[in-house]
Amino acid sequence: MSRALIRALQARGMDVANAVDEGMIGRSDREQLEYATSEDRVLYSFNVGDFHRLHTQVLAEGRSHAGLILASQQRFSVGEQMRRILRLSRELSPEEMRNRIEFLSGADSLA
């Protein structure tokens, strides 16, 4: 997640962190998802394939996570990512995001 996106979301009242600031760089995808869940944070990633598989595995194991938002890298500008993430946060509560995967895709709406 870019610093510009983090600042834009924080300026709009969202509790946002990134892997660098949280000391999670170099950790496995599973470790990152578990950490995000322990912090009650939805994980946002461009690593669509790996996190989609991990989502399926975690649920098959009977475990849970705080939610995932996935997007194709370089598909959206920082401003468009911000708008879509903010819209998603208004439409779905933290409880509704639990064990859910959302894709920042499509012309007008989120998954």
Q: Report pLDDT digits (tens) over 21-77.
A: 899 999 999 999 999 999 999 999 999 999 999 999 999 999 999 999 999 877 788
Phi-psi map region of 27: left, alpha, beta (phi>0 left; psi -120 to 50 alpha): beta
Tell me how many helices (H) and strands (E) the chain has. Answer: 5, 3
pLDDT given at position 9: 94
What pTM value is reported for the model?
0.87
